[in-house]
Structure 1
Amino acid sequence: MDDEGNYVVPDQCTTIAPPNNPSFYKAAFDVKKQQWYEAATQEYIDSLKLVTPRPSDIELLKKQNALLSKQLTQLLAMQKVGASD
């Protein structure tokens, strides 16, 4: 506000809202062109992408256990078929 109680809008402000689609990683406003643009570098954007986490030891053991259980079931089924012949 100025001395008279009026709101003072700085030069770098705009009433143009940034677009929702596409969304920006680091939105910036070009005052001369009166438009929003992406200010983030591609390197920065790539750094934000999720990396698939390595499975925990417990998850690996669960998978191994399931595989061994399946193999054992198949082996027992084959033995049953052989015993009935």
Structure 2
Amino acid sequence: MHVLYYDKNFLYIGEGYIDSDTLPPNSTDVVPDPEIITPRFDKKKNTWVEAATDEYKDSIKPDPPSPSEIEEVRKQIADLYYLIAMGGA
């Protein structure tokens, strides 16, 4: 049986396989949603919940990509067309 282990604070600490139908202490066979960054097991609801703070989640988000050269040229061309349409101000 595939089991997932959690620590005394119910935070995910690993997983493994056992040759038994009985779950060991501090373990579950419930798989967390892959979108969860820091899984914490809620025994009452028998599910994994998000333990990461909003500040932590924001800190690990990648920076938005910078525009490519083609996108920059397209914007310059669009700006020029706008200037021409407005009378060349």
The structure with the largest strand share of the pair is 2
TM value normalised by structure 1: 0.48
Write 1 or 2 for the structure with the bigger share of helix: 1
RCO comparison, higher one (Cα < 8 Å, 6+): 2
Decide which structure has the larger Cα Rg and report it.
Answer: 1
If the length of structure 2 is used for normalisation, what is the TM-score? 0.46
